[in-house]
Amino acid sequence: MPTSSVTYTATPAEKAWQDHLLLNDFYGLLDATPRRTPMRELISTVLSHRTTHRDEELAYDRMLETFSDWEGVLQAPTAELAHAIRTTRWPDTQAPRIQEILRRIKAEQGAFTLDFLADWPVEQGLAWLTDMPGIGLKTASLVLLFNFQKPVLPVDTHVHRVAQRVGMIGPKVSTEKAHHVLLELLPKEADVLLNFHKHNYWLGQHICFFAKPDCPRCPLKGFCNYYLEHYGPADAAALAATPLQWQGEKLH
Ligand code: SF4
């Protein structure tokens, strides 16, 4: 299995890089080809708030099947839009937000497009996106990284939890602040940042659980503060028992 030369006295930057290398081996390296159009990434991320991937996709598909296109979604009675996206956690809140986002994009750009963000500096793009209702730093960073390969790092609750337990960030660093703190630890390269985000997101979802992390299955145990506190130093037997690669359900 991939082993770590990093000790428990490693710096946060050393831990972040070792995390990146080990999880590349564990989950496989992802390429930075956008998985969705920018508009879809933006609206799907709004729909995904506290909602499973399956229910988010269901809501997105129903919305466009019902109203045909973005103009149809914008013009739809808000209650009917809320009904179409009812598999999301808060449809009555998300429906007017989505319509306001669409209204502003159309009013400012003359069309339902985010392609202009490719030419904007990162800070300007982040400021423009986070000025929209319901769009925070995480969603804005996802769109800029995934669709435009900008050097930003989205940090959600899973990435935040893993980073704190491993010791890449301190216990008092908020999720919002972690966007900046973790970014400073990593190369400003979109492919590195995308892999770091997705891999740690998956680790948080399927191994480093909130209530009871499944540390024996975790490739980061060799330099994780939480592991050290709860199990002691990871010895050769514990490291050798770690699966080489992810063997669970399909990840997305
Ligand atoms: S060793 Fe345990 S606490 Fe540390 S990152 Fe892995 S699962 Fe989380």
Domain ranges of the chain: 12-31+154-240, 38-148
Nearest CA to ligand 1 atom 3: 226
Dist. CA 116 → ligand 1 center (Å): 40
Q: Tell me the two tokens of residue 192.
A: 């590195």
Nearest CA to 48 out of 112, 150, 136 is that of 136
The class that CATH gives domain 12-31+154-240 is mainly alpha
Q: For residue 215, is it left (φ>0), alpha (ψ between -120 and 50) or beta?
A: alpha
Q: Is the CB of 23 under 6 A from ligand 1?
A: no
Which stretches in the chain have pLDDT values below 50? 1-7
Q: Is the CB of 159 under 6 A from ligand 1?
A: no
Rounded to two decimals, the pTM is: 0.91
Give the C-alpha separation, 175 to 212, whole Å: 20
Nearest CA to ligand 1 atom 2: 215
CATH topology classification for 38-148: Endonuclease III; domain 1 (1.10.340)
Q: What is the pLDDT of residue 54?
A: 93
Mutate to test the pocket of ligand 1, among 22, 166, 201, 206 (most ligand atoms within 8 A of CB): 166
Dist. CA 201 → ligand 1 center (Å): 13
Nearest CA to 160 out of 119, 200, 109, 126 is that of 200
Q: What is the dihedral of CA 7, 197, 203, 53, to 10 degrees?
A: 170
Nearest CA to 251 out of 195, 186, 188, 169 is that of 195
pLDDT digits over 66-81, tens only? Answer: 999 999 999 999 999 9
Dist. CA 30 → ligand 1 center (Å): 22
Give the C-alpha separation, 161 to 231, whole Å: 18
Dist. CA 114 → ligand 1 center (Å): 37
Dist. CA 64 → ligand 1 center (Å): 40
The answer to whether the CB of 141 falls within 8 A of the CB of 152 is yes
